[in-house]
Structures are given as structure tokens and as C-alpha cells.
Amino acid sequence: MAALLALAPPALAQQKTLRIAMTAADVPTTTGMPNNGFEGMRFLGYPSFEGLVLWDLSRADQPAALRPGLAESWSQDPADPKTWIFRLREGVKFHDGTPFSADSVIWNLDRFFKTDSPQFEPAGSGITRSRIPIMASYRKIDDRTVAMTTTRVASYFPYMAVYILFISPNSFEQGGRDWSRVAMLPPAGTGPFRLSRFTARVSAELTKNEGYWDPARVPKLDRVLLLPIPEANSRLAALRSGQVDWIEVPPPDAIPSLRQANFNVVTNSYPHVWPWFFQMGGAATPFRDPRVRQALNYCVDRAGLVQLLNGTAEPSVGWLKPSDPHFGSPQNRYGFDPAKGKALLAEAGFTAQRPLSFKVLISASGSGQMLPLPMNEYMQQNLKEACGVNVAFEVTEWNTLLTAMRSGPDAGILNGAASVNPSSPSSDPAVAARYFLQAFVPPNGFNWGQWNDPEFEAAFGALENATTPAAYDAAYARAHERLVDNPPWLFIVHDLNPRAMSCRVRGFVSAQSWFQDLVTVDLQ
């Protein structure tokens, strides 16, 4: 641990350097489209590489909305609702001093979506296409305007555009048109921090961008040092010893003592679901019968898991929270009801003599995964004791699990698993489209379970074509009712986004988002 953290040169001691311990097992990739899920986007994505559309992370009292980024405005083309027009911001420069323009937008879109372009990057393309699976075409209108056309009408497209990040085309040239060399530069973005250096599996360093295009958002910190420390107790030890200033996901049982020792432990509601995905397309899956999926949702003692997590989560009984205006009025309101769960399992043919048995692919750590090993051990024991269900686990690395989620139902990488345990954002319908529409089964999206519900498809189609808030809200609620009543997932808990910080860390706003704003953070 000491060797891992003894990284900063002595000069950094005179500067404001925030040291963050991530849950990731490795430094996210540095070519401008980071891997390691949304933790990679949180720390190596948005701080350095921005999109046309950005998240508004300025408030803690409401879910994060969208705000203008490298585009100052956007709108649907009134003549073609599949086309969105983005008006670009003037005066923006990349960290290398080259101008941001419509040409650089098209260059980056070709990087992700045009496989025969010289700058095509397979790894970044795979991540971006999985988040924007409906891109059909794009074009430059003039130096300040670009158009993007989707494969279907999508009222939520700006919520997808937020995941397209932009780097300087000059970085590609400086790296000899070789992405492995570009990663070592590292490349230039437009964000309030510039990625200044990194050491694989050890650290990445961000430096204040003094020339940021929004003078009101020049960071207060001089540097941010990002450290991958996947094991929760190792992160805790690093915080207690003063080797880091901020840790993601502290061990729940350590929270009371952290507070007593004057550390700040921050939690907040945010759009995060920690589920198991059910596979409905595999050769030997038990989950084609909706009664089995409903049964398991009645077998989970969510309150007990929340207690295990020391109150850093809340029960999940749907993709959205019951307090969300789009939750709807589903027929099923899941609670801990083993009798009902066992009755549904019996109707589906699973009894004490023929118990339900299946394997779940899980990770040891990773983006948004909370504490997957103790949580899954709890689930295994809970389901066995409550409903006689036998669960086995296949433990893998987080990025391997993400790869498995882009694979078919009987792929070898699953090693017989009929369920997977990633975490999911639930921030907007663009995410729901990728996870639940039949059009987005792998490799087109994240409907790994091959779920297909005609009523959901009809409701979601109405949402996509909605032109008024009332029509949008009603369609969203109908769609969510189907997610509850014909559940594609085992809904377990919503994370409350815990992180622990030294009392020296000031100015942090815990946004109701997977992403957080480092610009406002200061060190006393």
C-alpha cells in the first residue's frame, strides 16, 4: 500500500492535491472514453473530456438534469423528429490550444461510429455505441452547427448525447495515429481538468485547466490524484492513515467510527439500482416463466440487507423508486413475503423436492458495485433460508463482467450463469431503452436478459414520440409498471452513494447522479 501511494513528487506538497481512492481495480483507460463503467466517466471522463451536453451536478436536493456543454443549445428538427440539431459553443479550445469546432465533432463521431475511419478506436467505440445504440448518421451543417440523426424517434436523445466525449484530433496526430501511444501523451480534452499523466494500475493525475472556457468554473484544486484501490478495507486504511483524502464506498461497519474520528461521510439518494439480471434467452434458464422472476422479488429481505449496509442503501421494488412520479401503479408491490414467493415458485414447478437452482456472475469490485461480495453472500443465504433457492456464484473482474453483458445468453464467458449482477443507473428513459427494449439485446445494447414485453414496447414507443410533458409522463409510468409486473431483474436495493472524506475536503456537493463535480471541491 505504501508503495502504491508514494507517488506524488515533493512539489505537490505545496499545491492543493486531492487524493481519491476509487473502487476500480485499474486506472480507467486514458484515450478520452474511459472504461471501468461510470466510475471511469466520473473521474477520468467528465473532468477532462466533455460532451455537447453535460449533467448539471450543482444541486444535492433533486436528481441531476442536463445543461449545455460544448453545445450551447439543441433541438429536434421540426421537419424530421429523428434529427437533432446542436449549436456549438464559440471560443472553446482543447487543452493543446487547438480550437473545438464542428470539424472536431465530426472527427470524434467518426472515431466512434465509422469503422473505416483512420481514427477509429475499437475500445472507445464499443463503449460509446453501447450507450448510444440508435445513432444512424451525422453531418456538419456549418462551422458552429452539427446534426445527428437516430434510427428511431427518441425524445430522450440528449440523455444519450451526454455520453459522447471529445478529444483533440491533434492528439491523435501527436501520438503517431496509434491509440496506445495517444494514451501515453495523454490526449487533450476541453474539461476543467487536464489529464496530465498516468501509470497503469497505479494512478492518474489531473491538473487544473487555467484556461477553461467557463471562467466561473476554473477548479479550486491544483491537482487530483486518482488511485485504484478495489478492496474496501484497504481504501479505509488509506483514509485513516492520511494517504488519501477521499474514498469511494467505505465499509458500512466503519461509518460510525469514521464519523467519531471527524471524517465526513456523505450519502444521498441517486438513480442507482443494484439488481440481478435474469436471462430469458438461454438454453437452460429457469427465468422464462414470469412467476419465477416475481417469486424471487418476494423472497428478498431487502430491509435486512439495508441493515447489513448500515443504512447506506434503500430497498428497491422497481427500476425507479416508489417516490418517483414515473413509478406508476403496478399490480405487484414487492416486499419480504416468503410464503408468496414459495407459492409462485411451486406454481412454476419448483418445490422443496425440486428446488430452483442457478448461478450468478458477479464481480469482486467495480463501478457502482457497492460491496458485491458480502451483499451477494447475504443474498445467497437469504434466498436459501426464505424460499429454498440454491444460488451459486461465478466471481470475475468488473470489466470481464461488462464484456459478458455484451455476450449472448450461452456464451462461454458466462460459465453457465443465468444471471448477472452489474449495477445500473436509472436516471432517464435513455438508459431504460438500452436495458429493456427488444431492439437492444446484445450486441446492440444492454438487454442482456433478452426480455421482451409487448406492453412495455408500446408504452415506450409512446414515450419516444411524446410531444407534451403529460404524454411523456403517462407513457413512462405505463412502461415502468411493466418493469415491475413482468420483472426482467431481481430488484434488490438502491445505493445511497456513500463516500468518506477528510475534514480538509470542502465545497463538495453530493449530486443525485452517478457523476460528481470536482470543480467546486477545495482543500483546507
Which amino acid makes up residue 219?
Answer: P
Q: Where are the domains of the chain?
A: 15-48+191-270+497-524, 50-180, 272-495
Helix axes 290-299, 372-387, angle to 10 degrees: 100
In sequence order, the β-bridge partners of residue 63 are 512
- The second-level CATH assignment, the architecture, of 50-180 is Alpha-Beta Complex (3.90)
Task: Please check the confidence at residue 385 and state whether its pLDDT lies above 60.
Answer: yes
Which amino acid makes up residue 164?
Answer: I
The pLDDT value recorded for residue 13 is 52
If you average pLDDT over every residue of the chain, what do you get? Answer: 94
The pLDDT value recorded for residue 443 is 84
0.85 surpassed by pTM:
yes
Task: Please check the confidence at residue 217 and state whether its pLDDT lies above 90.
Answer: yes
Cis peptide before 122 (omega within 30 of 0): no
Dihedral, CA of residue 441, residue 327, residue 132 and residue 61, to nearest 10? -150
| CA gap 314, 269 in Å, rounded | 9
CB distance 313 to 467 below 8 Å: no
Q: Which superfamily does CATH assign the domain made up of 272-495 to?
A: Dipeptide-binding Protein; Domain 3 (3.10.105.10)
The pLDDT value recorded for residue 8 is 47
- Whether CATH 3.40.50.300 fits 15-48+191-270+497-524: no
Supply 185's cell numbers.
Answer: 501523451
| CA gap 264, 500 in Å, rounded | 6
DSSP 454-468: HHHHHHHHHHHT--S
pLDDT in tens, 99-155: 999 999 999 999 999 999 999 999 999 999 989 999 999 999 999 999 999 999 999
Residues 6+ apart with CB under 8 A from 399: 35, 36, 366
How many residues comprise the chain? 524
CB distance 515 to 47 below 8 Å: no
pLDDT in tens, 438-465: 999 988 889 999 999 999 999 999 999 9
The Cβ of residue 106 has, within 10 Å, a number of other Cβ atoms equal to 17
Task: Please check the confidence at residue 290 and state whether its pLDDT lies above 90.
Answer: yes
pLDDT in tens, 395-425: 999 889 988 998 889 899 999 999 999 998 9
| CA gap 164, 108 in Å, rounded | 9
| CA gap 210, 193 in Å, rounded | 9
pLDDT in tens, 344-383: 999 999 999 999 999 999 998 877 788 899 999 999 999 9
The pLDDT value recorded for residue 6 is 46
Task: Please check the confidence at residue 1 and state whether its pLDDT lies above 60.
Answer: no
CB distance 237 to 228 below 8 Å: no
Task: Please check the confidence at residue 10 and state whether its pLDDT lies above 50.
Answer: no
Supply 349's cell numbers.
Answer: 414447478
**Apex CA 234: angle with CA 230 and CA 238, to 5°?**
115
Residues 6+ apart with CB under 8 A from 362: 372, 373, 376, 393, 394, 395, 396, 401, 420, 421
247 to 20, 30, 182, 484: CA distances (angstroms)? 6, 21, 29, 34
3-state helix, strand, coil in the chain (%, to 5): 35, 20, 45
The pLDDT value recorded for residue 200 is 86
**Apex CA 169: angle with CA 168 and CA 175, to 5°?**
100
DSSP-derived letter for residue 36 is S
